[in-house]
A and B are shown apart, each in its own frame.
Chain A
Amino acid sequence: MTFKTVPPPKLKNRQPDTIASMYSHWFYLPALIVFGVFFLVPTALAFYFSLTRWTLFDSTFIGLDNYEYFFRDPQLTTALQNTFIYAFLTSGAKVIISLPLAVLLTSGLRLQSFFRSVIFFPVLVSAVATGITFSALMQPSDGLINLSLEAIGLPQPDWLGNPDLAIYSVALVDIWKGIGIATLIFIAGITSIPSEYFDAASLEGGAWVKFRHVILPLSRNATFTVILLSFIGGLRTFDIVWTTTRGGPGFASDVLTSVIYKQYQAGFYGLSSAGNVVLFIIIMVIVYPMMRFFNSQELEL
């Protein structure tokens, strides 16, 4: 058997080839236009307007004054602190609670798919509806949560009215709502583990060995995804905070986004654009290294 070497394409054939391959690039255009109009242009404009005093009718260039005002805001420290508490707490809790749940829901339980739907259900409810419902449930004297606590003789905290507690109560609502998505990601991660590993593990020992030496290490990718998504979500959370406490009482549960929104509401459009740029940078600075690290640690199954 002989192999015939293919002759290199002649030069004059090259041109039509390039055109042909260029041609397919045009299919990117619609996506590019949509991405440009709805994402790139507004982002660039936000950077510009953050340097101006803007009334929506006209704008005056004032350099970095908005940034100075943003950082001088006496409530900013509380808001930053709350944002990080919120992001760490929600992403941590989602991992800790969802992983065992996912293990349980992949273990071939009776009514397994029913329980999966139950866990996933809160994800389907809109965040605003969740927030309003929980602010009613968390009412100190006539809310369902405290009425139940009263019935079994436990202390009844003022969930949203106590300034020291408010941000944690809001985080609790976020965890309730976010568990479904996290569990779903873990379920996907666990079911993608090849069954040979489980077979091998069952020779070595029982459920604990399976969990500790197969599921835990091999669902690492899913864990990273959950941490990353919920951490970004936590840093830029707004809807649940706004509908439960509006950052209150006072400024006790303010997060970065609610501070920015209040500035926007007050008509400080330039200032709130500056706030959004700051938020963008904070998220980038924290999340990009995290993403790099996670990618380097990713497993090939």
Chain B
Amino acid sequence: MRKLLFLVLVLVMIAPVSFAQDTVTLTYLVDESQNTVDTTTALADAFMAQNPNVEIIIETRPGGADGDNIVKTRLATGEMADIFWYNSGSLLQALNPSLTLVDISDQPFIENISPSFLPTVSQGDAIFGVPSGTGMGGGIIYNKAVYEELGLEVPLTWDEFVANNEIIAEAGIAPVLATFGTGSTWTSQLFVLADYYNVEQAVPGFAEMYTANEVDYATTPAALAGFEYMEQAYTLGWFQEDYATEQFEPGLELIANGEAAHYPMLTFVLSTIAANYPDQVNDIGFFAQPGTDPEANGVTLWMPAGTYIPQTTEGDELEVALNFLAFIASVEGTEVVTEAVAPQGPYLVEGASLPEDVLPAVQDLAAYIERGDVYPALEFLSPIKGPNLEQLLVSVGTGQMTALEAAESYDFDVERQAQQLGIPGW
């Protein structure tokens, strides 16, 4: 009897070990936003269901500059997870991808990726990532119920936007929501970043000249406009009470309930609003950040983040990681994501489509895309983005700096970044 018991015990102890030998475990480092976690969890679960011998463990990290720091440090010290989720565009360029990431340009699944995405995850001929999640529009999220109640129309120029805000303020509603609290300062950047469609209309080819150090923000009126919008928002008192300490997620309640009318933001907030305020999400719409010309009104488009493999991933793990990337970049992968997270914009995978019942604000965005009135954000066209933009815009938005001072300061910030990246001409 005791012998049998012993045997059973030994078997129980050995079984998981022998089983584990066939299992390949991948760690997947992602940012901690609900959206990203839900997307990656859905992808990992679906992939594990198809491949029983694979285990994918999702690890989270903070977003924003703290997260950039973690990713850079872990890559530099060779401690990176087997695969990781990170922005495409200028932030990826700052990771030195040719030295740190696995080139996937020879993989067959590259053909599934929309060609417009590839430049944002490439350096030279090498390609490093697959589009993960959906692209996003940058512009103004607004409360349609407020607009209906006050009989307002979607503004096509900044002056119309100012006029609308006057009426909204008179009705006792905060015209613009701002969330400048600790850890949410990144939300201050939209007036400048989402204005890039308008900058490009006024100064065609701005991105290229900007990368070559031929134009800057302080002396290009169209580019300075974004900073001036922030200054105007402060001087006209558009922001809600306590905006300097308001945090991003709690702030969304104000726009969902119609206590604030506009929120300059990326459409990725829609899925957060859908999750936290399901009854109000259909009141939320989206329009392009208005500029000077009503004829040239369009949306600045953000590319999805990418999933990348660091060069420290080798052997079985590398093989499984490549298969997982192929899955993410497939129509099937996008369907898995759609089921888990309300889509916030287009997929950059060939053949992928959005369901009929997408959120109203995403339909608003889709209309701009169908008309072709979209242009990628500057950070996908140029590797240079200064790290201090968010604090500078908070300074303008709290009345500590003028638009011009902030733009000059930002140009200095950009100069340091360009030199750090070793870009010729700086």
Contacts and interface: CB of A to CB of B under 8 A. Distances in A.
A246 B183 contact: yes
A262 B245 contact: no
Contact of A266 (B181, B185, B409, B417): B417
Contacts of A243: 182
B388 interface: yes
Contact of B245 (A53, A72, A161, A250): A161
B220 to A, nearest CB: 19
Contacts of A55: 96, 420
Given A53-B420, A57-B76, A158-B244, A250 B401 contact: yes
B74 to A, nearest CB: 11
Interface in B39-69: 65-66, 68-69
A157 to B, nearest CB: 12
B233 interface: no
Contacts of B417: 266, 268
Interface stretch (A22-30, A37-45, A135-143): A135-143
A22 B117 CA distance: 69
Contacts of B96: 55, 57
A246 B245 contact: no
Nearest to A159: B245
Contacts of A271: 416, 420
Main secondary structure of the interface of A (DSSP, over half): loop
A244 B182 CA distance: 7
A163 interface: yes
Interface string A152-192: 00000010111100000000000000000000000000000
The size class of the interface chain B forms with chain A is 35 or more
Interface stretch (B204-212, B253-261, B324-332, B389-397): B389-397
Nearest to A160: B245
A294 interface: no
B385 to A, nearest CB: 10
Contact of A265 (B69, B180, B245): B69
A74 interface: yes
B323 interface: no
A87 to B, nearest CB: 22
A249 interface: yes
A68 to B, nearest CB: 11
Interface string A40-77: 00000000000001011100000000000100111100
Given A72-B412, A74-B409, A262-B387, A249 B420 contact: no
A158 B246 CA distance: 12
A251 to B, nearest CB: 6
B242 interface: yes
B395 A249 contact: yes
Nearest to B185: A248
Interface in A261-287: 262, 264-268, 271
26 contacts: A56-B73, A69-B416, A72-B412, A139-B245, A158-B242, A160-B244, A160-B245, A161-B181, A163-B244, A163-B400, A245-B182, A246-B183, A247-B391, A248-B182, A249-B180, A249-B394, A250-B394, A250-B398, A251-B391, A262-B388, A265-B65, A265-B66, A265-B387, A266-B68, A267-B420, A268-B420
Interface of B: 65-66, 68-69, 72-73, 76, 94, 96, 99-100, 180-183, 185, 241-245, 387-388, 391-392, 394-396, 398-401, 405, 408-409, 412, 416-417, 419-420, 422
